[in-house]
Amino acid sequence: PGERTALKDRIRRLLKERNAVMVSHYYVHPDLQDLAEETGGLVSDSLEMARFGRDHAAQTLVVSGVRFMGETAKILSPEKRVLMPDLDATCSLDLGCPVDEFSAFCDAHPDRTVVVYANTSAAVKARADWLVTSSCALDIVRALKDKGHKILWAPDKHLGNYIQRETGADMVFWRGACIVHDEFKAFELEALKKEHPQARVLVHPESPADVIALADAVGSTSAILNAAREFDAREFIVATDNGMMHKLRTLNPGKVFYEAPTAGNSATCKSCAHCPWMAMNGLAGLAHVLETGANEVQIDPALGQRAKVPIDRMLAFTA
């Protein structure tokens, strides 16, 4: 504990000395969420992290999250220095959507508008017409459908299927999944609901369809936070990365939050619902990059310019 306090003090001092601002995702360790907030940064989802990083005056951005979040920050602000606690923090959706195969898939469907989720590489974004996150995907796909577009969706199949069910849009899918949300289990969730009959169920749409079907509210991390605040209930079962529990509990002190069951939930593993790549972000790594300037995100400028087009469209649509 003493060591943690010392590291946090050092990070606060270094952020100030380097004129740096920090954005943290809801899924990273509570220490990194608290530090971002205490020092004038932001804790949020990838959409708001991107907007905040772009609009902030600081010339150095520290992004605590996964690789695509740092890359998006760099693409939006090529003149800024973007640092990450660990550059190897990736995402199963990004890993499962290599640009060569993805380009071939796009080439096979030339009549479709290409909509990709934020959790992708810069090269995949550069092939896209639109970028979306889970907080704006429904609205953007609905607007495209209303204008007569047919859609090619990548990479998360569960989120894509959910959006198709909700909008009725004509969509073809890349078949990626988030290793965290893909693990939530409907049968076990029903059993937990029986144990807590008053509890409302909040589900992230990267989860399987049978889990989504049991939800009282389905949505992005921000939508889950809103639902927890607005529902007149005392108990909640939450199917998303358990990094979210920190914000849910601090913002709703009178309410109780249970983690939804995953395949790994058993006597030996009570809470497996945590992204291993988000977990690579830590205080020691953060202090080190601030000290040394290591782990700077680099994006080829020409690629960055092309990848910026769909990101700018999304930010303008949601402004």
Q: Binding ligand CIZ by CB under 6 A: which of 77, 221, 281, 295? A: 221
Q: Which stretch binds ligand SF4 (CB under 6 A): 12-20, 91-99, 120-128, 161-169?
A: 91-99
Could you say whether residue 46 binds ligand CIZ (CB under 6 A)?
A: yes
- x/- mask, ligand SF4, residues 281-310, rule CB under 6 A, reads ------------------------------
Structure tokens at 225: 């936070």
Question: Alpha helix locations (H) across 168-300?
Answer: 186-195, 209-212, 221-230, 245-251, 283-292
Could you say whether residue 45 binds ligand CIZ (CB under 6 A)?
A: yes
41, 286 contact by CB (below 8 A) = no
- x/- mask, ligand SF4, residues 144-163, rule CB under 6 A, reads --------------------
Q: Based on CB atoms, which residue is closest to ligand CIZ, 28 or 58? A: 28
Could you say whether residue 11 binds ligand SF4 (CB under 6 A)?
A: no
Written as one string, the DSSP assignment of 52-85 is HHHH---SEEEEES-HHHHHHHHHH-TTSEEE-S
- x/- mask, ligand SF4, residues 21-60, rule CB under 6 A, reads ------x---------------------------------
Q: Binding ligand CIZ by CB under 6 A: which of 119, 167, 262, 265? A: 119
Q: Binding ligand SF4 by CB under 6 A: which of 92, 120, 135, 207? A: 92
Could you say whether residue 281 binds ligand CIZ (CB under 6 A)?
A: no
Q: Binding ligand SF4 by CB under 6 A: which of 28, 91, 137, 203? A: 91
Could you say whether residue 220 binds ligand SF4 (CB under 6 A)?
A: no
Residue 58 touches which member of ligand SF4, ligand CIZ, none, C-beta under 5-8 Å by kind: none
| Maximum C-alpha span of the chain | 59
Query: In sequence order, which residues have a C-beta less than 8 Å from that of residue 73 and are 6 or more positions away?
Result: 23, 49, 50, 53, 54, 61, 63, 80, 82, 297
Minimal CA–CA distance to 307: which of 121, 49, 95?
A: 121
Q: How many residues bind ligand CIZ (CB under 6 A)?
A: 10
Could you say whether residue 241 binds ligand SF4 (CB under 6 A)?
A: yes
The Cα-based distances of 37 to 53, 182, 234, 280, 315 in angstroms read 14, 30, 27, 20, 22
Q: What is the DSSP letter of 18?
A: T
Question: Alpha helix locations (H) across the chain?
Answer: 2-17, 30-38, 46-55, 67-76, 92-95, 99-107, 122-126, 137-146, 157-167, 186-195, 209-212, 221-230, 245-251, 283-292, 301-317
Residue 133 touches which member of ligand CIZ, ligand SF4, none, C-beta under 5-8 Å by kind: ligand CIZ
257, 236 contact by CB (below 8 A) = yes
Minimal CA–CA distance to 68: which of 92, 52, 44, 103?
A: 92
Q: Based on CB atoms, which residue is closest to ligand SF4, 39 or 161? A: 161
Interface positions with ligand CIZ (CB under 6 A): 25, 45-46, 118-119, 133-134, 178, 206, 221
Interface positions with ligand SF4 (CB under 6 A): 27, 66, 91-93, 119, 178-180, 241, 275, 277-278
